Structure 1
Amino acid sequence: MSLKSLQLSLENLRPWLTVLAVFWLLASLGLGWLVNSLLIIVGFFMLTPVVAFFGFRWWLQRNLVTDQCPVCNYEFTGLNNSQLQCPNCGEALSVKQGHFQRFTPEGTIDVTAIEIPTKSLEEKS
């Protein structure tokens, strides 16, 4: 091993040796509480993304709704208690209690028309 390659390997280890020396110095001075608190903070920052990921998945499972548009029967996904537009027909919809409903302004009466065949009326007469 040459002196040059030894210098290169020590340059890579220098930051880690410095951190180790600082922790050792703090622990020997009776500042172990500082070292422990730093380790707790590092652990907290490593654990937070994992908890956030599973929390977001839980929230998404509770609030994601897959249903059919009441106008064109196109199936798509939306968030519960929100307003959206059908990507197929463009109808304004609101999501309530896990189902899509047509969004109508206050005071509007939504009527569903039913076609009655004329033959059935003539046959009864």
Structure 2
Amino acid sequence: MNFKVPALNPSVRFWITLIAITWLLGAVGLGWLVKSAAILLLLLLISPLLLFWGMRLWLRWNVVQGTCPVCDFEFASLQASSVRCPSCGEVLTVRDRQFVRLTPPGTIDVTAIEVNAQVIDSPPSH
């Protein structure tokens, strides 16, 4: 009597071998080894997701997006840092999640308003 084993797909053969080794280790009393390897594999699979989520959370807390108070150019920077505006080059700092000009003490900021001059004829003198 000739007994032939059908040829298995290599991927099916891998999974059957893995299940057989796991069952054998569990039967011998080394189930803790299988559980440790499974936990390690699970941690390796979950850690990129946790890293991605943590990075997004850190960016949400530490990146400030706003406009330059001098030229109204919108850009982003890190919280509690000094940066130059990419448009006008003004040195800015981040306070209360807004960009503020970095000026020496005693400096008064003035907003200029354009006024159209109108010529008024003077009244005739008496």
The TM-score normalised by the length of structure 2 is: 0.69
User: 1:114 and 1:47, CA in 2 relative to 1: closer, same or farther beyond 3 A?
Assistant: closer
CA distance in 1: counterparts of 2:21 and 2:39, whole angstroms? 17
Structure 1 stretches lacking a partner, 5+ long: 1-5, 120-125
Instruction: Give the equivalent residue in structure 1 for 2:11.
Output: 12
CA distance in 2: counterparts of 1:84 and 1:16, whole angstroms? 56
Determine which structure has the larger helix proportion and give its number.
1
Q: CA deviation at 1:114?
A: 5.6
Instruction: Give the equivalent residue in structure 1 for 2:124.
Output: none
CA distance in 1: counterparts of 2:75 and 2:40, whole angstroms? 43
Amino acid at match of 1:13: V
Q: CA deviation at 1:54?
A: 2.0
Q: Could you say which structure has the larger radius of gyration?
A: 2
CA distance in 2: counterparts of 1:73 and 1:18, whole angstroms? 65
User: 1:64 and 1:114, CA in 2 relative to 1: closer, same or farther beyond 3 A?
Assistant: closer
Matched residues, number: 109
Instruction: Give the equivalent residue in structure 1 for 2:69.
Output: 70
CA contact (8 A) 1:85 1:92 kept: yes
- After TM superposition, what 4+ stretches of structure 1 lie above 6 angstroms from structure 2? none
Instruction: Give the equivalent residue in structure 1 for 2:78.
Output: 79
Instruction: Give the equivalent residue in structure 2 for 1:3.
Output: none
CA contact (8 A) 1:81 1:97 kept: no
Amino acid at match of 1:21: A
Amino acid at match of 1:70: P
User: 1:54 and 1:32, CA in 2 relative to 1: closer, same or farther beyond 3 A?
Assistant: same
Query: Identity of counterpart residues, as a percentage?
Result: 39
